[in-house]
Structure 1
């Protein structure tokens, strides 16, 4: 699976990329903010995006996920320590693949992505 990782913490991003690659996925791009992620997604056309909610440069992962879905048909798996019930409800219309709390483990990530394969 071709995956875009959108995470502003460099160590967490590095860990997620390593886990994804060990699981056999192709990480097509990484970004720390929503604007960069959008530009990379438009070129790289990922199958799925792993998106944190609070991103660098005061950008919003929910807004990014909505744009990815509406304009590119890319669904998001949210990986964040900031997931609230209100956020879950607000994202229902874009059919998210799920919501994972941090820290993410290989098992939780594998379980969430296995349903797509």
Structure 2
């Protein structure tokens, strides 16, 4: 599942994932939409922007995805701080990727779970 509020970036991420052989089962722009999809579709993982539409927080969303559904997150952002990384450790994130996202950075992060 891709959770990104910028439609062009989301489209790029989906394209990269599909080119790499992954199936994207849902795209969401905010936390409520992502939780709704997760409840119905149970994704294997979520690529989550830290700042989402409608003042949604990607960290809070990721915590709910992990606690409720066991879904781990790969965080995407142009401003991931060390403090944010420390607070997310307890939900066992797949990793953190600084934007702009590249095929290489995404491939490296996903290789750690395969």
Scaled by the length of structure 1, the TM-score of the pair is 0.96
Deviation at 1:82, TM superposition (A): 2.0
Residues in 1 aligned to 2:68 and 2:46: alpha-carbon distance in whole angstroms: 14
Partner SS for 2:43 = coil
Whether 1:34 and 2:31 are equivalent positions in the alignment is: yes
After TM superposition, the structure 1 = structure 2 runs for residues 35-114 of structure 1, keeping only pairs within 5 Å, are: 35-114=32-111
Deviation at 1:116, TM superposition (A): 1.1
- Structure 1 residues 25-47: Cα deviation after superposition (integer angstroms, max 9, x where no partner): 00000000011001001111111
- Structure 1 residues 66-106: Cα deviation after superposition (integer angstroms, max 9, x where no partner): 00001100000001112001100110110111000001111
Residues in 1 aligned to 2:56 and 2:43: alpha-carbon distance in whole angstroms: 20
Report the counterpart of residue 19 of structure 1 in structure 2: 16
Scaled by the length of structure 2, the TM-score of the pair is 0.98
Residues in 2 aligned to 1:111 and 1:85: alpha-carbon distance in whole angstroms: 20
Which protein is richer in strand relative to its size? 1
Runs of 4+ with >6 A deviation: none
Aligned length: 114
